[in-house]
Amino acid sequence: MDEKETVKTEVIHGSRPQKSIRGTLRWLLVVLLAFGLGALVITFALYLPTQQELVITNADLEHANGTVTSQSDQITTLQTGNQTLQKDLDSAILHSYVLKALAGVRSASQAVAADDYAGARLSLIQASEALDILSGLLGTDQKDVLTAMQQSATQALIKVKTNLTSAQPEMDQLTKNLEQLEDNLFPNP
Q: For each of the domains in the chain, give its residue range(s) and CATH number, in order of start.
A: 78-185 (1.20.120)
Residue 9 has pLDDT above 70, yes or no: no
CA 129, 133, 138, 139 torsion: positive or negative? positive
Closest CA to 97 of 171, 186, 187: 186
pTM of the model: 0.66
* Predicted pLDDT at 85: 95
Residue 26 has pLDDT above 90, yes or no: no
Stretch 148-167: mean pLDDT: 90
- Rounded Cα distance, 164 and 153, in Å: 14
Cα dihedral 113/155/99/136 (nearest 10): -170
Task: Give 144 or 93, the one with higher predicted confidence.
Answer: 93
Residue type, 158: I
pLDDT digits (tens, 9 = 90+) for 158-182: 999 888 889 899 999 999 999 999 9
pLDDT of 4 higher than 60:
no
Is it the case that residue 79 has pLDDT exceeding 90?
yes
Band the pLDDT of 110: cuts 50, 70, 90.
very high
Q: Give kind and range of the element (H or E) at residue 167.
A: none
Does 64 score more than 60 pLDDT?
Answer: yes
How far out from the chain centre does Cα 51 lie? Answer: 38
**pLDDT, the chain, mean:** 87
What is the torsional sign of CA 109, 113, 115, 116? negative
Residue 21 pLDDT > 90: no
Percent of the chain whose pLDDT exceeds 90: 52
Neighbours of 124 (CB within 10 A): 29
Cα dihedral: 171, 173, 174, 178 (round 10): 140
Q: What is the maximum span of the chain, computed from C-alpha positions, in angstroms?
A: 164
Q: What is the pLDDT of residue 24?
A: 87
